[in-house]
Structure 1
Amino acid sequence: MKEPKAKGYLMTLAGGACWGLSGCCGQFLFEQKGATAEWLVAIRLLTAGLILAAAGFWKNGKENISLFKNKKDIRQLLLFSFAGIWVSQYTYFAAIQHSNAGTATVLQYMFPVLILIVICLKEKRLPIGIELTAIILSVLGTVILGTHGDFTTLHMTPAALFFGLAAAVGGMLYNMLPGDLIQRYGMFQVVGFGMIFSGAVFCAAVKPWNQYVIWDVGTVLTLAGVIVVGTAVGFGLYLQGVSIIGPLKGSMLASIEPVSAVIISVFWLGTAFTVFDLIGFVMIMGTVMLLTWKQTPKKGD
């Protein structure tokens, strides 16, 4: 019994680490190969979507298109595709382009707090207890990250802060817009086709084939890191791990993503972080732990 659980923990952690590596690969492409967020996101969405959809057909056959039999579900998929997938992906990689993978990933992880605020607004109530603590902690963490304690100076570019906070909004939309689609149809069908639709439209808009990028072995390997490792391998490991240990523990362990992004960016890309950066990181990630702990069922429930 213990061995499958341990395997589930390891797979979930590995999936989150793959996502962190994906962000660092994006930073490498921006810094070393002349890539842009528009170029990378267009290619990633379309290619990763095709990989996921193909995996869905391999696993489920014709059932992989069952969603398209329901017009309401198609409309919801399209909304999720553009307002959820595209917004979250573009703002995240734009934040990396204007800052670094570690900072962008941590700022993106403010999305649970935004989800909490939306829930409070829907329920027409104020946040209380742990909820209020999490909101205050995330705001303070963002302020420290942006100002380094000097409230007269911004220690990151306005674009970095904007896209970092927009990535948190994107994370919220990505998690809330699909509703029960993924539960009813599966990740391969919903996320796969969602990526294909938004990726195809974005490719037509930005024409990535016309943008200059330095093509060499490093470019191919890091692009594969974003598309294959960050999507197919990352999602596969994470979902398999969650199927063993459950979604609650899985969501907590997924917090390894920003931690791995920070560590990899330091040792691989030479990104420098200050003490204030680390304090801001800890405060923002602390909100994830608090909100996950709040959801943990008590004994007797």
Structure 2
Amino acid sequence: MKTFRYVGLLMIISGAALWGVSGPMIQWLFQNSSLTSSKFLIVRLLLAGIITLTLLYLTKKNIFGVWKHPRHWIQLIIFGILGMLGAQYAFIETIHVSTAVTAVLFQFLGPVLITIYVAIQTKKLPTAMQLLAVVSALMGTFFLITNGSVENIILSKEAITLGLLTTLGFTFYTLHPTSLIKEWGTVVIIGWGMLIGGVALFIYNQDFSVVHLAHSLTFSTLSILLLVIISGTLSFILYIGSLKYLNATETSLLSSIEPLVAAIVSMIWLNESFGIYQLLGGLLITTAVVFLSMPIERSKKKLKVE
């Protein structure tokens, strides 16, 4: 059990780091190309979904079994459209109208909703350590984004609306597919979710043209686009897969390193500046991860002593 927990911790931290890196890459794409959020997501979701499912099929995985059970494929379609597409579209649009770090901030508000949901569902209050982790992570995120002053937050109504939708989408795709994953596996569900989301968006955007898209991309923008697709796909697989070994609250809170990674990459690559309070924010976010890993270890020691 201890080994499985370490696997889960490694998966969520790696997935969160990859997602943190992908945000600044997407921001760079929007700054250096004519890509829209819809066109970007059609390419990202369709390619990632097709590649993932093809690899599974070639390794003789049962990728079509889920479609033989009405209750499961209905859940899968809901996940693909509302969870996968909904969360990613809101996230990408938030980056488009603001910045990558802002989008990650709104995404990270999801753990607050998840913690409340889990507490209501289990009829148990969050542990003191979980509450401390939430407070520490939220304070860290606040300092990271604002550098200690709310006056530095200048967001349009559109950015706020899209950001809140990102929060809801993040919460939904974390909680909704857990039963499907237990039955069919992480990669199968993620693969179908991406393909369903991509097909739905492609049908909605009938003016999408592969030829026009190809002509609008340079070698640099195409390279970054491919890196975003790869890192984003791995991030989703690792994030959702970690739910096998960690509960939803732990997984969502451990993803608190996302804004830290996004901020560091933005500072180094996009030349965005950060102050002393933002560095303090990074420390608080790291502290939240430490807080979160403490309760289970302590409870195990108590059991051994008894």
TM-score, normalised on structure 2? 0.77
In the alignment, the residues of structure 2 paired with residue 115 and residue 144 of structure 1 have an alpha-carbon distance, to the nearest angstrom, of 22
Change in CA separation of 1:90 and 1:295 when aligned onto 2, cut-off 3 Å: farther
In the alignment, the residues of structure 2 paired with residue 42 and residue 220 of structure 1 have an alpha-carbon distance, to the nearest angstrom, of 14
Deviations 1:197-232 (A, max 9, x none): 111111221344388783100111011011123314
**Which structure 1 segments of 5+ residues have no match?**
none
Of stretches 90-99 and 71-80 in structure 1, the one that deviates more from structure 2 is 90-99
Tell me how far 1:80 sits from its aligned partner: 1.2
Give aligned pairs, total.
291
Matched AA of 2:32: Q
Partner residue of 1:267? 268
SS of structure 2 residue aligned to 1:155? coil
Q: How does 1:78-157 map to 2 (within 5 A)?
A: 78-123=77-122, 127=126, 129-137=128-136, 140=139, 149-150=148-149, 154-157=153-156
Asked if residue 167 in structure 1 is aligned to residue 169 in structure 2, the reply is no
Tell me how far 1:93 sits from its aligned partner: 1.4
Partner residue of 2:39? 39
In the alignment, the residues of structure 1 paired with residue 145 and residue 194 of structure 2 have an alpha-carbon distance, to the nearest angstrom, of 32
TM-score, normalised on structure 1? 0.78
In the alignment, the residues of structure 2 paired with residue 8 and residue 139 of structure 1 have an alpha-carbon distance, to the nearest angstrom, of 22
- Contact 2:102 2:145 (C-alpha < 8 Å) held by counterparts: no
In the alignment, the residues of structure 2 paired with residue 197 and residue 72 of structure 1 have an alpha-carbon distance, to the nearest angstrom, of 16
Change in CA separation of 1:87 and 1:263 when aligned onto 2, cut-off 3 Å: same
Q: How does 1:43-58 map to 2 (within 5 A)?
A: 43-58=43-58
In the alignment, the residues of structure 1 paired with residue 173 and residue 150 of structure 2 have an alpha-carbon distance, to the nearest angstrom, of 32
- Contact 1:140 1:280 (C-alpha < 8 Å) held by counterparts: yes
Tell me how far 1:68 sits from its aligned partner: 0.9
- Contact 1:147 1:155 (C-alpha < 8 Å) held by counterparts: no
Deviations 1:24-69 (A, max 9, x none): 22111111112222221222112111111112212234x1111111
In the alignment, the residues of structure 2 paired with residue 135 and residue 254 of structure 1 have an alpha-carbon distance, to the nearest angstrom, of 11
Deviations 1:131-186 (A, max 9, x none): 44445445555665676555567434443344334323222111100122112211
Of stretches 281-290 and 180-189 in structure 1, the one that deviates more from structure 2 is 281-290
The list of structure 1 runs, each at least 4 consecutive aligned residues, that deviate by more than 6 angstroms after superposition, is 5-12, 210-213
Of stretches 36-45 and 189-198 in structure 1, the one that deviates more from structure 2 is 36-45
- Contact 1:137 1:287 (C-alpha < 8 Å) held by counterparts: yes
Change in CA separation of 1:149 and 1:104 when aligned onto 2, cut-off 3 Å: same
Change in CA separation of 1:180 and 1:58 when aligned onto 2, cut-off 3 Å: same
Partner residue of 1:196? 195
Change in CA separation of 1:272 and 1:190 when aligned onto 2, cut-off 3 Å: same
Matched AA of 1:169: L
Change in CA separation of 1:8 and 1:202 when aligned onto 2, cut-off 3 Å: closer
In the alignment, the residues of structure 1 paired with residue 156 and residue 275 of structure 2 have an alpha-carbon distance, to the nearest angstrom, of 16
- Contact 2:80 2:193 (C-alpha < 8 Å) held by counterparts: yes
Matched AA of 2:19: W
Asked if residue 70 in structure 1 is aligned to residue 72 in structure 2, the reply is no
In the alignment, the residues of structure 1 paired with residue 80 and residue 193 of structure 2 have an alpha-carbon distance, to the nearest angstrom, of 4
Of stretches 89-98 and 135-144 in structure 1, the one that deviates more from structure 2 is 135-144
